[in-house]
Amino acid sequence: MAEAEIPRHADEQLDQAGLQAALLVEQVMRALPTEPLRVRFASLARHAAQLRDASGDTLRKSAVATRAALGPGDGLADYVEPRLAAALREALDEVLRILNRRAAHRMRPVRRADA
In a domain, 109, yes or no: no
pLDDT, tens digit (0-9, with 9 covering 90-100), for 101-111: 988 876 666 66
- Residue 33 belongs to a domain: yes
- Nearest alpha carbon to residue 85 among 73, 96, 75: 75
Q: What are phi and psi of 73, to 5 degrees?
A: 75, 110
Q: What's the pTM value of the predicted model, to 2 decimals?
A: 0.85
Whether 107 maps to a domain, the answer reads no
4, part of any domain: no
Using the Cα atoms of residue 32, residue 73, residue 89 and residue 81 in order, give the sign of their dihedral.
negative
> pLDDT of 31-53, one tens digit each?
999 999 999 999 999 999 999 99
Domain count, the chain: 1
Within-domain flag for 111: no
Tell me the residue range of the domain where 77 lies.
9-102
Is the residue at 1 inside a domain?
no
